[in-house]
Structure 1
Amino acid sequence: MLPGQPTPGPKKRPNFSLRGIQQHNPFESFSKVVDLSGKLNFEGKAVLHSQGVDFNAGRKYNIKMGDFDSRCEIGRGQFGVVSKVFHRPTKVIMALKEIRLQLDELQLNQILMELNVLHEASSPYIVDFYGAFFIESCVYYCMEYMECGSLDNMFHVGCPEDVLARIAYSMVSGLKFLKDKFNIIHRDVKPTNVLVNSSGEIKLCDFGVSGKLNASLAKTRVGCENYMAPERIKSGASDQGYTVQSDIWSLGISLVEMTTGKYPYPLNGRPTTSVFLIMQDIINGPAPSVDTENYSEECRDFISRCLEKDPNDRPSYAQLLEHPYLVRYQNTHVDMTGWAQNALRSSPSSS
């Protein structure tokens, strides 16, 4: 100590008491959802647990992890994986989709939306639902196994016009069912969300980002930007909203992709993967078109109507189902089974 400095008093200890301090536990906001007993409780709607899922309307699905023999992984995404599994009690091959739970309200809402759609949907154009359960930090959906995977797995065998018509019919019928039954818009229509089985049946999947329509409008920019309609991209900075016509645009882009085997943007063959430049092309550039040599005028007209830049100029689902292109192939034999099984045999991933 230097001369002239005051004698120091007793050293104060830091106060580590938590009393009076507001502590934030991230689980507090979700305590009504994530039950300490190991249940995921969507109050008044559904309860997921390790033995299955119970819906408020009384429907129950008793299914659990111990019932399965794992076969192989068939897909992987941002939040988890999809596996091919064998359900011993029923002797049924299923697709088991795992979602790693995060304490995020948007993700919880997406889980509930997908559960609601899957367990209430009774349509040949929607993938079948076998149940769901919750273990620790993961939600598991048990769904119909579609052997050929998604439409993007089919590019290597091409898509003849008659097959494309059946794909379009199934997609439109599935989207119309969602609108009529649940008053919702899919919002993520793209080839990876359309599944194919070995019989050539086409079914929609992935309803987590589907949204309720309020006075025929939806809001919020969720889904894959590459397949978004121009008005959806532009509405991201406003409250204008958008309608089911935006899913019709996404349908059109998906069909163009099926005819060429590649995503149609960016325009003019520019070598870029910039989402910003692609969205600029979607808003400001002409809509993609279909090859005139390999596809009929009826087919090209159907797709061009889906890709009208003004959503008010796009037809409704009912009008699309009455289009001459779809009507013609509904009354014509189309070998969907042969097309699907050829793709399955020749797939690079087949073993």
Structure 2
Amino acid sequence: MMPGQSTPGPKKRPNFSLRDINQSNPFNSFSKVVDLSGKLNFEGKAVLHSEGVDFGAGRKYNIKMEDFSTRCEIGRGQFGVVSKVYHNPTKVTMALKEIRLQLDELQLNQILMELNVLHEARSPYIVDFYGAFFIESCVYYCMEYMECGSLDSMFSFGCPEPVLARIAHAMVSGLKFLKDQFGVIHRDVKPTNVLVNSQGEVKLCDFGVSGKLNASLAKTRVGCENYMAPERIKSGASDQGYTVQSDIWSLGISLVEAATGKYPYPLNGRPTTSVFLIMQDIISGPAPSVDPARYSELCRDFITVCLHKDPSERPSYAQLLEHPFITKSQAADVDMAGWAQAALTHRASAA
């Protein structure tokens, strides 16, 4: 929108440049966040600029676009793209996530949440963070490059039970870390938000819709509906609140998908993509499971306890980590690197 033009209607959310700030509504509501010097300022919690990000606690990450070379796109989402880049000063290959800023307060909150989680979380089960910066209307996150991509890209190669158990362990450990250390619930647990590298390490990513737990409850209805727990879908759930047990449901659905190679809804093989029918199945239908001919009773029990319709019957993260399905795999020699490398080779040959 140029100066002097009327405010766009509610269905339009155009991209904007810095000179649009401080003009008529809705732009003036963002003047406290984006200033004309080219900085994105989150009320002292974090300041993004063209040469990095400064967090309120004093930690700084100096990184800028000019540091990168050999950029190629590896993924695309609703708000932007993810590219594979080479960081020349450190000689490290990174994933560069570009978010095109919209005039949307929810998106700004998501950016701040993801920045906070990424820079504070130091865990082998959370993707590493290298820095962030802001140029005109785009925010860039610099993260660990996970060369195998997201878990959903590994389905065609198959996911044997020992590997599935290690994936479950990594996901539960990452979610438990977020809850115990920061009081955060992920709220968007699904295979596309689980990354794998060539060493077979499994890490969580995408924390934009994560939320702080207030007395162990969260209320906002955000995240992918296909992986939402029944209690989050039911009418009035946003008023009643929900706990991390809702992420445990999403974990169970993700494991079924990893084991079977496909999303388990709608039930009974009905050929439909209707979100309404899928939501009905999640609320009223039986919980999905895996083939008993391929997966052990321990594996099936682990998935079953994750997918109890009543969230109070689902175990805690600590209890899941003590489940024999997990402890048995931790004691076994599982070649995660071999599985990851074989999946990469299979994907390359199928391309």
Q: Determine if the TM-score, normalized by the shorter chain, exceeds 0.5.
A: yes
Do the aligned partners of 1:149 and 1:197 also contact (CA within 8 Å) in 2? yes
TM-score, normalization by structure 2: 0.92
Residue identity in the other structure for 2:169: Y
Do the aligned partners of 1:185 and 1:211 also contact (CA within 8 Å) in 2? yes
Quick one: distance in 2 between partners of 1:272 and 1:221? 24
1:223-234 matched pairs, under 5 angstroms: 223-234=223-234
Q: Counterpart of 2:204?
A: 204
Cα distance, 1:24 vs. partner? 3.4
Do the aligned partners of 1:235 and 1:242 also contact (CA within 8 Å) in 2? no
Q: Counterpart of 2:15?
A: none
Residue identity in the other structure for 2:128: D
Q: Please tell me the root mean square deviation across aligned C-alpha atoms, in Å.
A: 1.5
Quick one: distance in 1 between partners of 2:148 and 2:226? 24
Residue identity in the other structure for 1:174: G
Q: Counterpart of 1:329?
A: 329
Residue identity in the other structure for 1:316: S
Q: Report Cα offsets for 1:249-298 as digits up to 9, x if no partner.
A: 00000000011100000001100000111000000001001110000000
Quick one: distance in 1 between partners of 2:308 and 2:83? 38
Is residue 258 of structure 2 the alignment partner of residue 258 of structure 1?
yes
- Alignment coverage as a number of residue pairs: 331
TM-score, normalization by structure 1: 0.92
Residue identity in the other structure for 1:206: D
Q: Counterpart of 2:71?
A: 71
C-alpha change, 1:199 and 1:236, in structure 2 (3 Å) is farther
Do the aligned partners of 2:232 and 2:238 also contact (CA within 8 Å) in 1? no
Do the aligned partners of 2:221 and 2:238 also contact (CA within 8 Å) in 1? no
Do the aligned partners of 1:125 and 1:203 also contact (CA within 8 Å) in 2? yes
Q: Counterpart of 2:289?
A: 289
Is residue 170 of structure 2 the alignment partner of residue 137 of structure 1?
no
Is residue 323 of structure 2 the alignment partner of residue 305 of structure 1?
no
Quick one: distance in 2 between partners of 1:58 and 1:199? 33
Q: Counterpart of 1:273?
A: 273
Do the aligned partners of 1:70 and 1:83 also contact (CA within 8 Å) in 2? no
Long gaps (5+) in structure 2: 5-22
Do the aligned partners of 2:159 and 2:259 also contact (CA within 8 Å) in 1? yes
Cα distance, 1:236 vs. partner? 5.1
Cα distance, 1:71 vs. partner? 3.1
Q: Counterpart of 1:82?
A: 82
SS in 2 for 1:24: coil
Question: Identity across aligned pairs (percent)?
Answer: 85
SS in 1 for 2:117: helix
Residue identity in the other structure for 1:83: S
C-alpha change, 1:349 and 1:61, in structure 2 (3 Å) is farther
SS in 2 for 1:132: strand
| Superposition misfits of 4+ residues, deviation over 3 angstroms | 235-238, 348-351
Do the aligned partners of 2:231 and 2:237 also contact (CA within 8 Å) in 1? no
Quick one: distance in 2 between partners of 1:166 and 1:101? 37
SS in 1 for 2:239: coil
Do the aligned partners of 2:219 and 2:238 also contact (CA within 8 Å) in 1? no
Long gaps (5+) in structure 1: 1-15, 17-22
Q: Counterpart of 1:243?
A: 243
Quick one: distance in 1 between partners of 2:348 and 2:177? 34
SS in 2 for 1:220: coil
Is residue 124 of structure 2 the alignment partner of residue 115 of structure 1?
no
SS in 1 for 2:249: helix
SS in 1 for 2:240: coil
Q: Counterpart of 2:216?
A: 216
SS in 2 for 1:281: helix
SS in 1 for 2:272: coil
SS in 2 for 1:218: coil
Is residue 89 of structure 2 the alignment partner of residue 96 of structure 1?
no
Quick one: distance in 2 between partners of 1:195 and 1:122? 16
Q: Counterpart of 1:13?
A: none
